[in-house]
Amino acid sequence: MREELNVLVQAQYPLIYLVTSEEERAEQTIAAIAQMKPLRRVFVWTVTHGIVEFGQPRNITQHNTVSPEAAIEWVIRQREPGIFVFKDLHPFIDSPAVTRWLRDAIASFKDTQKTILLMSPVQNIPIELEKEVAVLDFPLPDMAELNQVLTHQLDQSRPARRITTETREKLLKAALGLTRDEAEKVYRKAQVAAGKLTESEVEVVLSEKKQLIRRNGILEYLEEDSTIDSVGGLEELKSWLRQRSNAFTERAREYGLPQPKGMLILGVPGCGKSLIAKTTSRLWGLPLLRLDMGRVYDGSMVGRSEANLRSALKTAESISPAILFIDELDKSFAGSAGSADSDGGTSSRIFGTFLTWMQEKTSPVFVMATANRVDRLPGEFLRKGRFDEIFFVDLPTAEERKDIFRIHLSKRRNDISRFDLEQLAKISETEASVSITDPNTGASRSVNVVCGFSGAEIEQAVVAAMYEAFAQDREFTQLDIIAAVKSTLPLSKTMAEQVVALREWARQRARPAATSIAEERSREEEYKRLEWS
């Protein structure tokens, strides 16, 4: 980024917008660029002190330059080459007077070696300036800069400490995604906590890093105690994930493998889609960040929602390799096509920004998205190249239901030999009548389709049985679970038409998450019964 900023300044770009919250670090970069020929003086404007030359005390200000209009007018009058940094001008930039003064400054800067640089954590550009401004994102510190911070912190300790190369690398990777100031603070905290910086203090750095990520309110740092073995069935999906458990290592790059982009998991609600996404983080040993699209939208200021999304994606890239988890993608971007009538096109712009990022990103951020309703997904998401694979998670088969009962009973009791898992798997299967229509004649007929309990419904049946027994002050039994199952109307029965439609769509367009031959055969038999001769 420094090279690009230097090129823009040397090319006499009159207006540059630098998006960053690291003012001090950005100022040092600008000051270094100003030392290149031709030499330029650097001036900094703030609404509290007006214009002050860089490096001078803040109490030495130019008279009457606190207001943005007066400051820009002062800049126009200067004859010497210079870089004029305006901090946090975004609240004033929509003012007609400020916009006009900026346009006047741009017109007067031709062949003058003068540049106005707007520095702000929020990108806000009036339409009048869109054709005139160059926008740059100031990146967070890389490993080399963090290494300088860590070395300085080690040298500050008395006596000066030395750490192994392996420990240094782990401490640096743990701090990726933090600003320079944040990294300094977490290293100091880790050192104070144990009196020294060691590999064991990596957890201290990671813990503080999680708190910093949570502050923005858009990304959430998730931790999952369960392993992927706690998910019943879905062996095809699990195998796919295990094959890629080392896909982000240097060994994979040396082998010539591309970095995985992401996966979309479609399926019936309650069948383990979200749990798979969470347990993948532990399987791969990568941090899991959940992107809450509801918090992205902010109507307080034009462009704020788009800025929120860009900030979240930039943070995810800065701590990569990482997994970016988006739950219920169909709800997050539903209605984006017609958002011009409802929200002024904000949803459409956010959708476009996210699609472009997915297509062009080079950082190792793996996108894991889940969805329940295929019909609500924009077609652009399903195009090849957005995701490495699209998996369909169907209702569990009898064998998978048996496995799911075993998992949930084992979580709650050490000895489950008294439970008949075969019987529980059998009673958790039912049939539903579905009405289908011939697309050619319009005639309708009803067919019975096999449907069963989802993983979430099985868990709730076990919990309901435990509550029943607990209220009677006794241990829960097989009969309690059977009673709970029979008193539950599964979603696959109440929403049978939707489940059948989802299965039909996924048969040709998605990869099944389960490898059960029995499941495939029963599915094919079901499709044959549904087809019209």
pLDDT in tens, 476-516: 999 999 999 998 888 878 777 777 777 777 777 778 887 76
Residue 335 has pLDDT above 70, yes or no: no
* Greater pLDDT, 452 or 135: 135
Q: Six-digit token pair at 47?
A: 């609404």
Question: Per-residue confidence at 532, pLDDT binned at 50, 70, 90?
Answer: very low
The answer to whether 287 and 319 are in contact (CB under 8 A) is yes
Q: What is the pLDDT of residues 153-164, one digit of tens each?
A: 888 776 666 777
Measured CA to CA in angstroms, residue 200 lies from 170, 191, 193, 210, 314 at distances of: 10, 11, 11, 17, 28
Average pLDDT over residues 293-300: 68
All domains of the chain, ordered by start, with CATH?
2-137 (3.40.50.300), 143-215 (no CATH), 222-393 (3.40.50.300), 398-530 (no CATH)
* Residues 148-166 as b or e (16 or more Cβ within 10 Å = b): ebbeebbeeeeeeeebeee
- Residue 168 sits at φ, ψ, to 5 deg, of -60, -45
For 259, which DSSP code? P
Burial of 425 (0-12, 13-18, 19+ CB in 10 A): buried
pTM higher than the cut 0.95: no
Average pLDDT over residues 424-453: 72
Most confident residue range from 179-183, 432-436, 437-441: 179-183
* Greater pLDDT, 107 or 164: 107
The percent of residues above 90 in pLDDT, for the chain, comes to 23
Handedness of CA 211, 213, 218, 222 (dihedral sign): negative
